[in-house]
């Protein structure tokens, strides 16, 4: 009986090791992966890449998709139990919180040569790299070419030009510009290009520069050049408004291109986000997800690193970005994509000076973001002045 009990315990131990995978003693023939992609093309293209890179590394990668709202709570729970999946694709603002849990492996052996420095910096926590993005996204200004031509306008480069164009193109049920000021991280993300380009800092939400940026948005809404509904519109909603001809311009990302390009009667151009003055430094937030490796055992971690090397290679980075509507993190691949697809050139141009949302505050970013999007709501929908709304945000 003692020998039988010992045999059972040994079998159970072997089954439990390796993060839930089976096959070899260390479980390194099957790896686990998790992400939150719920829609095409991301959720259809990613499994193919995982299969290809897994085959190169000699492993099978089990893919799991979790709804976005449940994603980080699940990962943090797993991190506290040291049972994170071998590979996780996490939103870049969430990386510091996950790295702080101690459940991630530093990616010291992975080369970042050829990647944009801004993207490499976004994956660091306390000096070590814990996440690397295969591709990123950002925000630029879309404009209706037919409407601009009819009005004799050129795409705006400065805030004054943006305001003038938005007012000139507002007519009937059509607004000059649409942006998302919704009360979520999406609203902060859309506002940050204006906030940072003005010279504002997340460590001081009520600075004169921050007030200047929010005043721009408030003036556009009060002049009826932007709809009051921007406080409820998501980025998908403003894309619908632009496609329907209800907005002559919009602030949006490259992930909208597959949908926009299907509308053959819509002629549009894309330029970088306008800046306060010709001498201002353009700064947009980096969007997109980063690959991370969960702690397990040396064999599994080594296999996960091998898969990750493949996913981050120039050709796979380019393949993924083309499919997902992203910009490759590899500078050569990004230049190649911009040359082959001029629609993406504005997004590629902005990456060099883009900034990770967590660059200033690290794990405290979500608190600042929440205070910021609440201030935007209070100003645009609640009747508060930019100063009042941002001072309240700063107190929080």
Percent of the chain with pLDDT over 70: 93
State residue 21's pLDDT score: 40
Residue 378's alpha-carbon distances to 198, 231, 382, in angstroms, are 20, 10, 4
- Report residue 324's pLDDT band, with 50, 70 and 90 as the boundaries: confident
Least-confidence region, from 195-209, 274-288, 317-331: 317-331
State residue 19's pLDDT score: 46
Taking only the tens place, the pLDDT of each residue in 327-345 is: 999 999 899 888 989 999 9
State residue 25's pLDDT score: 42
Peptide bond before residue 41 is cis, with ω within 30 degrees of 0: yes
State the average pLDDT over residues 122-130. Answer: 94
Token readout for 214 is: 């929010």
State residue 2's pLDDT score: 46
State the average pLDDT over residues 264-284. Answer: 95
CB-based contacts of 92: which residues, under 8 Å, 6+ apart?
A: 122, 123, 131, 133, 136, 286, 287, 288, 289, 290, 356, 357, 358
State residue 77's pLDDT score: 95
Q: Which of 303, 308, 310, 307 is nearest to 291 (CA)?
A: 308
Give, rounded to a whole angstrom, the gap between the first and last alpha carbons of the chain: 63
Q: Which long-range contacts (CB under 8 A, 24 or more apart) does 315-321 make?
A: 316/49, 316/52, 316/53, 316/134, 317/134, 317/135, 319/49, 320/45, 320/46, 320/49, 320/134, 320/135, 321/134, 321/135
**How many Å apart are CA 360 and CA 10, to the nearest integer?**
49
- Report residue 372's pLDDT band, with 50, 70 and 90 as the boundaries: very high
Taking only the tens place, the pLDDT of each residue in 6-30 is: 443 443 333 333 444 433 445 579 9
- Do 266 and 256 form a contact (C-beta atoms < 8 A)? no
Provide the pairing of β-strand 30-35 with 87-91.
parallel
State the average pLDDT over residues 112-140. Answer: 93
State residue 107's pLDDT score: 97
Q: Which of 258, 227, 242 is nearest to 141 (CA)?
A: 242
State residue 203's pLDDT score: 95
State the average pLDDT over residues 229-251. Answer: 97
**How many Å apart are CA 52 and CA 323, to the nearest integer?**
15
Q: Which of 363, 341, 324, 365 is nearest to 136 (CA)?
A: 324
Is the model's pLDDT at 321 over the cut of 50? yes
CB-based contacts of 4: which residues, under 8 Å, 6+ apart?
A: none
**How many Å apart are CA 286 and CA 283, to the nearest integer?**
9
Token readout for 117 is: 């420095």
**How many Å apart are CA 113 and CA 102, to the nearest integer?**
26
CB-based contacts of 388: which residues, under 8 Å, 6+ apart?
A: 378, 379
What global pTM score does this model have? 0.84
């Amino acid at each position: 009986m003692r020998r039988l009990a010992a045999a059972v315990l040994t079998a159970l131990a072997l089954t439990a090791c390796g993060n839930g995978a089976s096959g070899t003693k260390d479980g390194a023939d099957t790896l686990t992966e998790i992400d939150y992609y719920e829609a095409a093309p991301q959720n259809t293209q990613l499994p193919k890449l995982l299969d290809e890179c897994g085959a190169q590394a000699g492993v099978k990668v089990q893919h799991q998709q979790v709804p976005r709202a449940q994603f980080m709570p699940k990962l943090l729970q797993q991190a506290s139990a040291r049972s994170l999946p071998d590979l996780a694709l996490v939103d870049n603002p969430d990386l510091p919180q996950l790295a702080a849990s101690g459940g991630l492996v530093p990616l010291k052996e992975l080369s970042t040569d050829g990647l944009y420095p801004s993207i490499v910096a976004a994956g660091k926590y306390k000096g070590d790299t814990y996440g690397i993005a295969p591709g990123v996204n950002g925000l630029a200004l879309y404009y209706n070419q037919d409407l601009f031509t009819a009005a004799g306008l050129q795409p705006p480069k400065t805030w004054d030009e943006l305001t003038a164009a938005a007012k000139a193109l507002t007519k009937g049920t059509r607004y000059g510009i649409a942006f998302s000021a919704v009360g979520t991280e999406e609203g902060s993300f859309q506002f940050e290009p204006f906030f940072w380009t003005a010279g504002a800092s997340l460590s001081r939400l009520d600075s004169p520069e921050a007030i200047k940026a929010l005043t721009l948005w408030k003036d556009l809404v009060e002049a009826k050049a932007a709809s009051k509904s921007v406080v409820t519109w998501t980025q998908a909603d403003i894309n619908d408004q632009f496609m329907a001809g209800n907005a002559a311009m919009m602030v949006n990302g490259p992930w909208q291109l597959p949908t926009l390009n299907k509308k053959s009667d819509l002629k549009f151009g894309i330029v970088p986000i306008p800046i306060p003055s010709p001498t201002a430094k353009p700064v947009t937030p980096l969007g997109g997800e980063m690959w991370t490796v969960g702690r397990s055992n040396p064999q599994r971690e080594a296999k996960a690193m091998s898969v990750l090397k493949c996913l981050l290679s120039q050709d796979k980075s380019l393949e993924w970005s083309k499919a997902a509507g992203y910009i490759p993190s590899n500078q050569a691949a990004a230049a190649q994509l911009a040359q082959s697809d001029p629609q993406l050139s504005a997004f590629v141009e902005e990456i060099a000076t883009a900034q990770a949302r967590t660059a200033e505050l690290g794990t405290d970013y979500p608190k600042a973001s929440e205070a910021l999007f609440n201030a935007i709501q209070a100003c645009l929908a609640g009747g508060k002045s930019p100063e009042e709304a941002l001072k309240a945000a700063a107190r929080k």
